[in-house]
Structure 1
Amino acid sequence: MKVWIGVTLLIAVAILLVMSQLLPWPFHLHNNDTVQRIYIGSMGISNQRFLPEHEDPSSSEFTQLAAQVSQQLKLIYFKNSMLAKYFNRNSVQAFSEGDSGDNSIVVYYESEFDVPVPERTTVDEAIESLEPPAESEWSQQGQGLLKPSDTLNISSIISQVIDPRLTRSKLTKRKFFNIHVRNRGIVHSPGFPDYPYPPNANFQWRLRAEPGHRVKLDFHTLILEDDCQRDFIKAYDSLAPIEKRALTEQCGNPQKSLSFFSSGNVMLLTLVTNEKENFPGFEASYSQIPLAKQTCPGMFQCSNNKCVSKTSQCDGWDDCGDNSDEINCTCPGKFQCNNNKCVSKSFQCDGWDHCGDNSDEISCIFSACTGMFQCNNSRCVSNTSQCDGWDDCGDNSDEINCIFSACTGMFQCNNSRCVSKTSRCDGWDDCGDNSDEINCNCTGMFQCNNSRCVSKTSQCDGWDDCGDNSDEINCTCTGMFQCNNNKCVSNTSHCNGWDDCGDNSDEINCTCPGMFQCNNNRCVSNTSQCDSWDDCGDNSDEINCTSVVCSAFTFHCSNGLCISKLNPECDGEQDCEDGSDEANCDCGTSLYSSTRIVGGRGANVGEWPWQVSLHFKGLGHMCGASVLSDRWLLTAAHCVQDTTVYKLSQAHKWEAFLGLQVQNQTNEWTVKRGVKQIITHRYYNRYNEDSDIALMELDTRVSLTQHIRPICLPSTTYFFPSGQEAWITGWGTTLQGGTATAILQKAEVKIINSWLCNILLNYRVTGNMLCAGVLSGGVDTCKGDSGGPLSVANSRGRFFLAGVTSWGKGCARIYAPGVYTRVTKYRSWIKQKTGV
């Protein structure tokens, strides 16, 4: 019996011991449920001088001062019992010059804490409320902080939790770049433009200007993933990613000019990427500008020293160019966006993101679109827009849950659009979703990289039959000329004045013994000079001829005589005896001497005073046009062709907005006019878009101002050579199938050789058409830009109307330039109809 009692007691003691170990365990687990919390900050130190060695983390000067900073920062944390409890370590990131002259420095640091989950907010607030210790807080002994022998005089502290996207565990690539911006230079994402940026990366560029200067950063290209939670760039007015010093955060493909200025001589640029769907990236130029003081009496002074009207503050538009007029705004009588931007209350819930963060389109309650289709974003579009294969809503809600009948005798795309069966596997995305180019099989033919099927004889024949040049890659050129890019072209292509290779290697180092060498290096007979025929193809054999025999290549003066000078009109020099080459030259000038739609950027106010926005009543902006005089506009004929729904040929249903910069936002220099009559060219062919040109007469004359001016019309002999720079402008969509832009866009393109363009576009280009664009793609006019100008400046900066935006194969595709109506072919017609 005693034995059993003893055994029972032992078991009970063992159970108690086990329970004593187990019972506290859940509480112990809870108390140690901590997260790593990283805080980023900067300190101003007034008794240390910045040295060049402080830029080098491996220098003794850097490590010595960093140790002092870490020690003193730790003492400041230990002043707060909670911070002392959870503090782990400090790390100094960088130093820069201070704002107080030679005897000051700024240090940028990271601090790591292990914080219990319930205490995160309390610790965050404690970090953000840190202040420099007062002299009375230091003591040599007793209460207070123990004063180090080498105390740093801390003048300021900014500290807060780091953006959690910068500390994602998947960020396996971290790299820092230090750049001096004494001279202008370029910074770009790794791999740009040849390869997409790498995944799971955190890149930081530390930009430093000379003392007394600030950093300027201008983005030329920015193409990232649309979701900023995945991929984004961010610029800071410091050398550390401190949220309070953030200048901007961008993702996607912003269609506006992006320029940013630091307040001091440093700036940090970061690029953070996620694990997939990587995009081309960005390219930006950096430079330094003096910290010149400027005062703006009676005006608002921007951070970049620009002076703008006080009414520009918090009006919802970036008038400064660095957005400083839209920071820390309150919006009485207006809607305040989540990013503090102020916009008109009428912009709320209109289906467009006026804020830039879509906060004006959140939590909206809408009435129905009477007689129209209501998109998920509440925009109202025609009922015929439903299930037509195009995203008219901008959120694709008009193309969801569609039920379609078969495309009888045609190919039905995945988006239900019907296209010709010959579109299947022809190398072009005729569907708009590329479904006509998927799963192609080229039995007995050559299959291009873009899946297009072409004859096997097309391989290495010197012509890009595929459209992506894959039939001309890795060729050996037996009996032909081999280009530097390995393309094979006919031996007769060598030095014929045309870039048959595509890299111009067939036109390099050409000599023309015993012949005339054209400006484009083509060799022609000496007898071709001044024979009134353009044998060169660039008219260089007919320039500066002593003969004044009138021909198709000579300028006709008003007195009946002719001169052979190339493009003499309005060049500032009188060439005709009667001065007619310099008459009627009050045109083609703007508030800007020169200046970048798809691949473009926002235009400046008054930069393109001949640009017109044509609105069809009830539909808004439809097309562009150009100002020819105070009474006449020029646009595209296809803009005014009737459809099954709308009578677009009826003049009284159109409204013209002149001097307009932003759609739905008029000002003192914007003028609205009705249209009195429309004159479409009698030979307009709606099937091939030949003679795609039309005139509009305004119902009331307009006063010509610096914001409304005509563009110069070229003479019939005006020559626009291949490769010449040109400008496209408009409010059209900024990508194929996308939505229209509110702000007038501009983009720089080049005139494309018509012969080459005709090949690229399947021989659809007539002699009445002009091609312009960027063959590598990415820049082009698009839906909504039709009728607008293709503007070309002469040597004096005066702009001439080279073309009217007409048509193209998609928008901004590779090897698919835009096509424009050639205005020189219709100069006499314009004169006859308008007197201009």
Structure 2
Amino acid sequence: NINVFEEGVEFLPANNSRKVEKRGPKRWIVLLALVIFFILLSLMVGILVWHFNYQNAWVQKIFNGYLRITNENFIDAYENSNSTEFAHLANKVKEALKVLYNGIPALGPFYKESGITAFSEGSVIAYYWSEFSVPQYKAEEVERAISKEYVLSLPPRSRALQSFNVASIVAFPTDARTLQTTRDNSCSFSLHARDNEVISFTTPGFPDSPYPARARCQWALRGDVGQVLSLTFQTFDVAPCDDDGSDLVMVYDSLSPVEPRAVVQLCGVYPPSYNLTFLSSQNVMLVTLITNTVRRHPGFKAEFFQLSKMMECGGHLTGVQGTFSTPYYPGHYPPNIDCTWDIEVPADQNVKIRFKIFYLVEPHKTLGTCTKDYVEINGEKICGEKLQFVVSSNSNKITVHFHSDESYTDTGFLAEYLSYDSSDPCPGMFTCKTGRCINNALRCDGWADCTDFSDELECVCNSTFQFTCKNKFCKPLYWVCDGLNDCGDNSDELQCSCPEGNFRCGNGKCIPESQKCDKQDNCGDGSDEAWTVPCTKYTYKCLSGVCLSKKNPECDGKKDCSDGSDEKNCDCGLRSFSRHARIVGGQNSDEGEWPWQVSLHAEGEGHLCGASVISSTWLVSAAHCFVDTPRKRYSQPTQWKAFLGLHDQSKRSVKGVQERGFKQIIRHAAFNDFTFDYDIAVLELDKPVEFSSVIRPICLPDSSHTFPAGKAIWVTGWGHTKEGGTGALILQKGEIRVINQTTCESLLPNQVTPRMMCVGFLNGGVDSCQGDSGGPLSSVENDGRMFLAGVVSWGDGCARRNKPGVYTRTPILRDWIKEQTGV
């Protein structure tokens, strides 16, 4: 019998099913672990990113510098970078720099190489660049380490440098704009001046083509040992200065382009008359051109020569009076120089110094007062730009010390020393509190002839001609109620309306209505007698044909003609802001202050003359600006460009400035280029100009308009700031006075015609000059509107005593202007 057995399978009860599942962690534990994992992963990635992108980010650092080799003598072969002598000494210098840097923990690990660019005398000065590859986070530490001055200490086994003494090793961070000059020699030049030799050099392509775009050029200038160099830019026209990387010319008192030895930084355009002469302190100079734009400009033409180094600066000055100035004045004084003048006048006198010109301006602001270039007198340091001022001593002796540091220079000062009696410092004259002496006639005349206003304090005003301000200043009566705060406390503009039953005169005076039109000039300006009269050349003629006896009624804000024609076409002569109080003396104008002022540039010569806007298409200027010479046909419109809305000659491309050519130039047919009679011209623009806050027309006066003697008028322009001096970059303004025509003719006998007027001061001081020709003589009339009183014409010198400037009278030529232009 076969027994069959079934295999038994046991099933567990359903409520025990967990016993057969695998055991594992709870879900929240798993989630927490995942979160921690991802946090750690992110942290690790961040550390790696920082490590590779910052900790391990390397930057190139290049430093320019120079060092002195004390036991070598300079030989001519060191000037030639291709000579074997140059290469031999350069290798020694490079080895010395390597030894130096390797001995400095902050520098050694990152040093790559050095290059020697030049040598000069003293005993031998080597100019070099050094390159470092530095982790980003150590860049500041490297800059701090290299900024120190070192003396090389050689290791015992440095056989290559035995008997090689190096001192005064200095280096500075290289301007990023000059980096390419360290190795690229495609636009590098070396020039050496000899005795009685003037060497010229220009930017590549000058003047026929613009200098290359995005280039790095340099000129190493040398003279003989014991000499210094005088460098002058005769023509300078590069791209305008701006903040986004303009083209730049730098001049260094060194053969290495290091900022602490920079003499000047130039960009933009300078007129030919501008003073661009610079001196070195030694026999080398470096000129660099860095072009960061693709603008088309001709560049510069320069010349240099050598002259003997000044062995003494200053000295002992004696006598009753004399003059002295900074070295090489009016050129820029050299860097790194000290001068001391010990001045002594007779024992029974005191001494004072009058600074006639004073320019010690640094382009970069520094902490403290006068820490760079300065004049020191009586323990006080003076720097910056100053108007004429006086410093005195309580004895017959005074010491003047002048200091110039190693960098940027200026034109310096021109001064005179004078002896005086302490009991009467200004014999027969008024003494300003500043020590300046002025004529007694200028005391209490309403004009601040003393820079501290002391000549206008404690005055008793002449009630016939003057108004007494609340602050006790005396001002001309015709300034009262003219819309301008002439007093400074606005008291001349208060109470400018008359009580009921009174008539307010044009000069602000109030008279009873019964005195109006009584055939007597009760106002003093004829405004109460503005009835119709027979027409003459001295009366204003309305469009209706009626003539008025009122003086200068046009555009005064009052309807004097029954047809209103005297107030038509009056959108002129107004500025977008009110002007400052009147001041005597030329000074920088504000941008947009003279919106009708135009700068006329002759091709290849820069600014030569001024002009005035009278409409959107016409300008007024002087005829003598357009007289042909054997060299150039100035009468041709194609030779000129007009810049309207211009304020700074170095910024002709800024927003707001409009450039125009000319369709035609019309000189007065009667112009005499010998006597300058009828010296006027009108210029038609090749396309209309757009009026703006900085471009507006000036009002043209009627042919009957008068500008009385004593009236204050403004002259503006970019001309010379002193006779025989240089032109200005910033538009200058000066307030002068109309001089009686009889006096004018007596001062300039047989030279003044009825088409001319004298404006200025009989004692000189403020005047137009070369480069201002053709510009406006702007007169404030009535409600503050400006009229073109005249055109800058000629003069005997500039700002001389009893030699006022001569201007073309525009009222007399008003009809001619209308005939030519329709304006």
Provide the TM-score with structure 2 as the length reference. Answer: 0.40
Rg larger in structure: 2
Give the number of the structure with larger relative contact order, counting CA–CA contacts within 8 Å between residues 6 or more apart.
2
Q: Counting strand residues as a fraction of each chain, which structure ranks higher?
A: 2
